[in-house]
Amino acid sequence: MEIIMIVLAGILFGFAVYNILQKRLLRIIIGTALLSHAAHLFILTMGKLKRGAAPVLVDGTENYTDPLPQALILTSIVISFGVTSLLLVLAYRAVKTNGTDNMEELRGNDHD
């Protein structure tokens, strides 16, 4: 099962990178969102999947899934939410100010 999830994470990474390399700001934001999904899945997989009960202590259960990756991912989900929303507003401002969301047009001048 882990191998399947690693492959899935890899594919998501691929799509994320492809999106990040696009011209439009919205595409890039979609790319970063995909990237964080992929990373979360990746981290979770590293802690082995389905090898025990959910990490909530219950009398009589000895085996729990690894709680550490989950704690890390929880933090990461919230942060990536912050990143995505900031990027969205940034893109919105960039479009308002520059009249374009095309990265090829959003370059500095040659001699700034």
Partner 1 sequence: MIVAILMPFLIAMCIPFIAKFKYRIHTGYAVFVTSLSLFLYFLVLLISGETNILYRYSWIPSLGLDLTFYTDGLALFFALLISGIGALVAFYSIFYLNREERLGSFYVYLLLFMGAMLGIVTSDNIYALYTFWELTSVSSFLLISFWFTRKASTDGALKSMLITFIGGFALLGGLVLLHLVTGTTSIREILTQGDLILTSDWFPLIVVLLLLAACTKSAQFPFHIWLPDAMEAPTPVSAYLHSATMVKAGLFLLLRFTPVLKESEAFFIAVSIIGLVTLFWGSYMAVRQTDLKGILAYSTISQLGMIMAMIGYGTEAAIFAAIFHILNHATFKGSLFMAVGIIDHETGTRDIRKLGGLWKLMPVTGIISILASFSMAGVPLPILNGFYSKEEFFSSSWDLTADRAFSTDFAAVLANIVPYVAVAGSIFTFVYSMYFYFRTFTGKAEKDTAEKAHDPKFGMLASPVLLVSGVLLISIFPNWFSRHLLQPAANAVYGETMKEHSIHFWHGLVPAFIMSLIVVALGIVLYITRKYWTVLYNVLPGKLSGNIVYASLLSASEKQTKVVNDRIVNGSIRQYNAIIISVISIVTLVILFGTNSFDLRNIDTSPVSLPQSLPELAVAFIMIAAAFGSTVSQKKLTAVIILGVVGYGLSILFVLFRAPDLALTQLSIETITVVLFLLCFRHLPEMEQERKEKRSKKITNIFIASLCGLMMMLVGLAAYSQRLFPSISEYFVKYSYKLGGGDNIVNVILVDFRGLDTLFEITVLAIAALGIYSLIKLRQKGGDR
The footprint of partner 1 on residues 20-79 (CB under 8 A) is 20-27, 29-30, 33-34, 37-38, 40-42, 44-47, 49-50, 52-58, 64-68, 70-71, 73-75, 77-79
* 27/60 with CB nearer partner 1: 27
> Strand, coil or helix: what is 102?
strand
Residue 68's nearest CA partner among 41, 45, 47, 38 is 47
Report how far residue 68's alpha carbon sits from residue 8's, in angstroms, rounded to the nearest whole number: 21
Report how far residue 75's alpha carbon sits from residue 107's, in angstroms, rounded to the nearest whole number: 34
Measured from the CB of residue 99, what is the shortest distance to partner 1 in angstroms?
9
* Binding characters for partner 1, 80-99, by CB under 8 A (x = yes): -xxxxxx-xxxxxx-xxx--
Measured from the CB of residue 9, what is the shortest distance to partner 1 in angstroms?
6
Residues 9, 36: contact at Cβ < 8 Å?
no
